[in-house]
Structure 1
Amino acid sequence: MGDPYPQHRANAGVVMFNADGLVWIGRRADVDGPHIWQFPQGGMDAGEDAEAAARREAFEETGARSDQLVLLGSIDHWLAYDFPPGLPPRPDQKRYKWKGQKQRWFAFRYTGRDADFDLTAVPPQEFAEWRWEKLENVPPLIIGWKRSVYEDVAAAFARFAR
């Protein structure tokens, strides 16, 4: 079977659970509004392994080092969303080459300290702030056009929140 989403940019998503089963969410630094929280996520480089991309994105966006992330599980198929029409331009303009994003998602146990997070680890800064949240509370915080993916992720990783 071929790629079901050939017009979507390959992306890796990260759900970090702390010892209490809460998940790390960040408030986007580049937008305003009610639904500006999300998990770390980002594009996969050509030929890059999906888990390696997830670990790289976790570091770039949160400062969490790979050795602080213990793999709990993953979703072994693509989850995808389309970009809505009229989405404002981004400085990198990457989103306009694609219809949307297809994502591979990974759940990790975060073993570091809260003080180890560094939202400025790699510019440009993606998140303005972060917090620990119950997994089931996350999908309603997500912008509408990404929400169904987050609902699928929350369902798939619910066992790690307990």
Structure 2
Amino acid sequence: MTDLPDYRPNVGVVLFHPDGRVWLGKRAGTPGPYNWQFPQGGVDPGEDLETAARRELGEETGATTASYLGRTDGWITYDYPADVVSAQRGRGFKGQKQAWFAFRFDGDEREFDLDAHHEPEFEAWRWGYLAEAPGLIVPFKRAAYEMVARAFAAFAATNGARA
């Protein structure tokens, strides 16, 4: 299906704990080992990208108390693999183009509510390290996560210490 014309506009969020760790969500109903990821989702027509990122963060995690740290330059793309059943492929998209945002979580952890909106995206969450994220995501998104990890490395903790 390489003749599909376009990429679905999407935003991703890396939510940093004040100590530099990152929020990782375990996808609901998805068997391991590659079932952890960052919040992400589609952009509504005419929606500002940062607004979309904050909306997706709130919908998927319940968290709204976050400060802007930065965003990736341009779009990061990935293609949907042919063997993955995807509603987006069915709607004519060959993959996603993503703008990624880094936010610092400034709230209380009681703010996290995975059932905040509609069908939950995640069934569990934890704080982890940015460098581990590419190894936790489904392989077809790995290159995108590696780019995100490089882009936001300055905000990240490594081995329990701030980078």
TM-score (norm 2): 0.90
1:74 aligns to 2:68 (yes or no): no
Question: CA shift at 1:32, angstroms?
Answer: 1.0
1:117 equivalent to 2:116? Answer no
Residues 78-112 of structure 1: CA deviation (Å, up to 9, x unaligned): 001000112135xxx33422101000000000001
Deviations 1:97-138 (A, max 9, x none): 210100000000000111210000001100000000011111
Instruction: Single out whichever of 30-39 and 141-150 deviates more from structure 2.
Output: 30-39
TM-score, with normalisation over the residues of structure 1?
0.90
Q: 1:94 aligns with which of 88, 100, 125?
A: 88
Q: Distance in 2 between matches of 1:114 and 1:96?
A: 37
Question: 1:54 aligns to what SS in structure 2?
Answer: helix
Question: Per residue, is there more strand in 1 or in 2?
Answer: 2
Q: Give the aligned partner of residue 54 of structure 1.
A: 53
Give 3-state SS (helix, strand or coil) of 1:99's partner. strand
* Distance (whole Å) between structure 1 residues aligned to residue 84 and residue 67 of structure 2: 35
The residue identity in structure 1 corresponding to 2:111 is D
**1:146 alignment counterpart:** 141
The separation in 2 between residues aligned to 1:41 and 1:84, in whole angstroms, is 18
User: RMSD value over aligned CA atoms?
Assistant: 1.4
Partner in structure 1 of residue 24 of structure 2: 25
Aligned partners of 1:94, 1:42: CA distance in 2, in Å?
12
User: Hey, what does 1:3 align to over in structure 2?
Assistant: none
Would the alpha carbon gap of residues 30 and 96 (structure 1) be closer, same or farther in structure 2, given more than 3 Å must change? farther
Aligned position for 2:160: none
Letter in 1 for 2:101: F
Report how far residue 12 of structure 1 moved: 0.4
Q: What does residue 15 of structure 1 align with?
A: 14
Kindly, what percent of the aligned residue pairs are identical? 53
**SS in structure 2 of the partner of residue 138 of structure 1:** helix
Question: How many pairs are equivalent?
Answer: 153
Unaligned runs of 5+ in 1: 1-5
- Matched to 1:32, the amino acid is P
In structure 2, the gaps of 5 or more residues are 157-162
Give the match's secondary structure for 2:23. Answer: strand
